[in-house]
Amino acid sequence: MYTRPSLRRSRRTRSRTTVRVTASLFTAAALLVSACSSGSPTTSSGGAADAVLAALPRATPSALSSYYTQQLHWHSCGVPGYQCATMKAPLDYAKPGSGDVRLAVARKKASGKGKPLGSLLVNPGGPGGSAVSYLQSYAGVGYPADVRARYDMVAVDPRGVARSEPVECLDGRQMDTYTQTDLTPDDQQERNALVTADKKFAQSCGAHSARLLRHVSTVEAARDMDILRAALGDQKLNYVGASYGTFLGATYAGLFPDRVGRVVLDGAMDPTLDARKMTLDQTAGFETAFQAFAKDCVRHSDCSLGGKGTTPAQVGDHLKAFFRKLDQHPVPAGDAAGRKLGEALATTGVIAAMYDQAEWEQLRKALTSATKQNDGGGLLALSDSYYERDADGHYSNLMMANAAVNCLDLPPAFTGPDQVEKALPTFEKASPVFGEGLAWAALNCAYWPVKATGAAHRIEAKGAAPIVVVGTTRDPATPYRWAQSLAGQLSSARLLTYVGDGHTAYGRGSTCIDTAINTYLLDGTPPSPKKRCS
């Protein structure tokens, strides 16, 4: 939703590791939620809001048998305690003989005593987040010891992501230019520049990744997960997905309800929403998060946006005034590549910190440095972390994969700048601080070289074992009502609520949440209906 990349990834891992691992997103690629996709006739007839993801036949088609029976050859992959392998999946499930895609898989074997529970697949979201990096830098060491003792912790980078034949578009210098594109155009010239930037990005992806772009949908990635389940020797899929990973997990459940094991969907997405409604909901979500930040900020002496007695609305006004100033006069940021902090990068930096209240202190200091000391380095660092840009100017393929999946999964939120202009009042009402930029950021899929193959739909997964859906009441990236909606769709869902701030809930400090999820993962007992934690 505010993209380049998108807003669907969990931010919790950045504060815990030096390697940034995604799970939801932001800046000019639009945040969209995947729906159905090419390669499988998976929806019933009818309107998008009424369509239901249909289960695939239980019997494995003979054309796919070689994929389901493949042997994974595990080897050391440079990180002590982990093994890696390469898995094959059909590039096009409708034409299995037309070529393969090779997917990177990693695992950490169960480390303790007790009855083994099989594999636990993890995904941090995105789309575009590397699940392998997430496993090696966080889940494999940060998940509860009891869980790691009894499960083989497993991850696969989805097709088009990181180590799995990554989608490629712009190089580092070009990405630097793209991420600085003005998302609040003041005149026709700036509006044309934004459209040109989105077109160039899309055309570059089409030129460099033509083979993949039609086959990176969420449905295809979910089908890949079932091949992995079989290759691992598991009868059921056990899974923890965050943010966009909840949509991937729910899609798996809808396609293969009889193969659902213990599944946790944390920071849930709502597959019934079209791209524009999703973007608007998320815009309101970031406003809610900013209001919470503003209330906290004015209690601290280092809040440069206002002191005691300043209202959240006034804090927002001060931030908008700062953004307008940067739009005209970017400030130095001590960057080796010569970048300065302008409005686009500053906005990305602020939004990045909205994912986790643990980052609010860092944001306050960064804002103080930028507003009082004319030093944009702190906000630039937040933005670079969000974009997965390293000190040498190299970007991961997060933004490229993010756009590729999003633009394939749902038709674009807007088909041209005139539609954005008409929608601006609605978006600015949803968020006076971020609404304009988030609306313009949702334009990128309008120029995508491949037409969307998916659409909004319901996921019911009738017959599936209990699925735990987790929602945070003031989640900025996946609003709480999305979790409520998904839990209402899934026939076997149990909604687990975290009353608090930040994106996702598991492993973020709530003993109540962690205990409920750990109990479910270890003995299969889901939380009581409508359980709430703080």
Where in the sequence numbering do the catalytic residues fall? 243, 475, 503
- Maximum separation of any 2 CA atoms in the chain, in Å: 69
What's 162's DSSP letter? T
Candidates 504, 414, 493, 431; CA nearest to 459 is: 493
What long-range pairs does 230-236 form, CB within 8 A, spacing at least 24?
A: 230/68, 230/69, 231/68, 231/70, 231/71, 231/72, 231/87, 232/72, 232/118, 232/119, 232/152, 232/154, 234/118, 234/119, 234/261, 235/259, 236/118, 236/260, 236/261, 236/262, 236/465
**Are the CB atoms for 406 and 448 separated by under 8 Å?**
no
Query: b vs e for 190-201, b when ≥16 Cβ sit within 10 Å of the residue's Cβ?
Result: ebeebbebbebb
* Mode of pairing for the β-strands spanning 237-242 and 260-266: parallel
**Are the CB atoms for 387 and 395 separated by under 8 Å?**
yes
| Phi, psi (rounded to 5 degrees) for 104 | -85, 130
**Are the CB atoms for 298 and 310 separated by under 8 Å?**
yes
**Dihedral sign, CA of 460, 461, 462, 468?**
negative
**Are the CB atoms for 187 and 162 separated by under 8 Å?**
no
Q: Which residues pair with 468 in a beta bridge?
A: 264, 494
Q: DSSP for 44-110?
A: -SS-TTT-BBPPPPSSPPGGGHHHHTPPP--EE-SSTT-EEEEEEEES-TTSGGG-EEEEEEEEE--
Q: DSSP for 191-213?
A: HHHHHHHHHHHHHHHHHH-HHHH
Cα separation, 438 vs 225, in Å, equals 32
Candidates 408, 37, 411, 63; CA nearest to 220 is: 37
- Give one word for 418, left, alpha or beta, with left for phi > 0 and alpha for psi -120 to 50: alpha
What is the identity of the amino acid at 523? D
Residue 305: CB atoms within 10 A of its CB come to 22
Q: Which residues pair with 199 in a beta bridge?
A: none
Residue 47: CB atoms within 10 A of its CB come to 9
Cα separation, 385 vs 354, in Å, equals 13
| Phi, psi (rounded to 5 degrees) for 493 | -75, 150
**Dihedral sign, CA of 169, 170, 175, 179?**
negative
